[in-house]
């Protein structure tokens, strides 16, 4: 690794994680806000379910690593919640197995170190009409539509209940996104994956949890120290060409106030 060492935040999940840097995604938002404060590490794998994640969990998060993450944000459920395919193949994972898979993932991550904190994201809603239109545009005229909003709800509630049992921070994305009246129109690129508007909701929910958590030290971006944040004679001069200005904490997100 390169120095200086900073806290490590790992985003672990399926395509909602892998694509979190496009369309001004929630991963990109976190990376910007935590620049010079924490390293945001992307471990997203399109198409994966909790069953697949368990197969490589110890490779991605080895217990003997010299440095363990301070935070792991976990998302699996959207693919698990697909209805079973008539062939018996595909991404569907039965609900009880999904719950046990997520429990095993949580137990392993909790065992990494005392400083490793967890946030689980539930399955977000989907826009079934938009998914259908996308299928038509791609020429997919046959086969059942296996992804339903009701199934997402069931798996979302199961994840929340597991997190309550295990005292894990959880974010109910299924409900949070649907609080916006126009969520069907503005939150998805294809009925499943998130636009910038959908990602803003995810980022705000994550930041809210981090601000309210009673973790020591705090992992909220406004509370964390800035690497090389000390004053320097090489800082930029003010417009009059006299006093220097320490710009180490500058952020350039549009309307950065919405994240504070």
Q: What pLDDT, on the 0 to 100 scale, is given for residue 240?
A: 81
Q: What pLDDT, on the 0 to 100 scale, is given for residue 73?
A: 99
Hey, how many other C-beta atoms are within 10 angstroms of the C-beta on 226? 12
> What pLDDT digit, counting tens, does each position of 150-204 carry?
999 999 999 999 999 999 999 999 999 999 999 999 999 999 999 999 999 999 9
CB neighbours of 222 closer than 8 A, spacing ≥ 6?
Answer: 211, 260
Q: What pLDDT, on the 0 to 100 scale, is given for residue 242?
A: 73
Of 14, 31, 70, 81, the catalytic one is 14
Q: What pLDDT, on the 0 to 100 scale, is given for residue 106?
A: 98
CB neighbours of 210 closer than 8 A, spacing ≥ 6?
Answer: 71, 119, 218, 219, 220, 221
Q: What pLDDT, on the 0 to 100 scale, is given for residue 230?
A: 86
**For the chain, domain boundaries:** 8-231
pTM of the model: 0.93
Whether residue 23 lies in the annotated active site? no
Stretches where the chain sits below pLDDT 70 are: 139-143, 243, 251-257, 259-260
Of 32, 35, 175, 190, the catalytic one is 190
Residues 33 and 49: their CA atoms lie apart, in Å, by 29
Check if the beta carbon of residue 48 is closer than 8 Å to that of residue 14: yes
Check if the beta carbon of residue 156 is closer than 8 Å to that of residue 172: yes
Q: Which CATH number fits domain 8-231: 2.60.40.10, 3.40.50.740, 3.30.710.10, 3.40.50.1110?
A: 3.40.50.1110
Whether residue 193 lies in the annotated active site? yes
Of 80, 81, 92, 193, the catalytic one is 193
φ, ψ at 48 (rounded to 5°): -75, 155
Whether residue 190 lies in the annotated active site? yes
């Amino acid at each position: 690794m390169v120095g200086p060492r900073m806290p490590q935040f790992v985003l672990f999940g399926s395509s909602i994680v892998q694509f979190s840097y496009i369309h001004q995604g929630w991963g990109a938002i976190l990376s910007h806000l935590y620049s010079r404060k924490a390293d945001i590490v992307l471990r997203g794998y399109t198409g994966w379910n909790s069953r697949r994640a368990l197969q490589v969990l110890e490779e991605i998060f080895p217990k003997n690593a010299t440095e363990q993450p301070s935070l792991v944000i976990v998302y699996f459920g959207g693919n698990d919640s697909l209805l079973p395919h008539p062939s018996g193949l595909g991404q569907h994972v039965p609900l009880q197995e999904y719950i046990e898979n997520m429990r095993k993932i949580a137990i392993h991550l909790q065992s990494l170190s005392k400083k490793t904190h967890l946030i689980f994201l539930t399955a977000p809603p989907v826009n079934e009409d938009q998914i259908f239109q996308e299928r038509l545009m791609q020429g997919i005229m046959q086969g059942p539509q296996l992804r339903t909003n009701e199934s997402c709800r069931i798996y979302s509630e199961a994840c929340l209940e597991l997190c309550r049992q295990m005292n894990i921070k959880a974010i109910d994305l299924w409900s949070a996104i649907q609080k916006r009246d126009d969520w069907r129109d503005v939150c998805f690129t294809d009925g499943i994956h998130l636009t910038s508007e959908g990602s803003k909701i995810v980022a705000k929910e994550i930041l809210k949890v981090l601000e309210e958590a009673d973790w020591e030290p705090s992992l909220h971006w406004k509370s964390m120290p800035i690497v090389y944040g000390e004053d320097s004679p090489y800082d930029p001069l003010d417009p009059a060409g006299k006093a220097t200005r320490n710009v180490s904490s500058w952020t350039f997100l549009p309307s950065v106030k919405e994240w504070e």
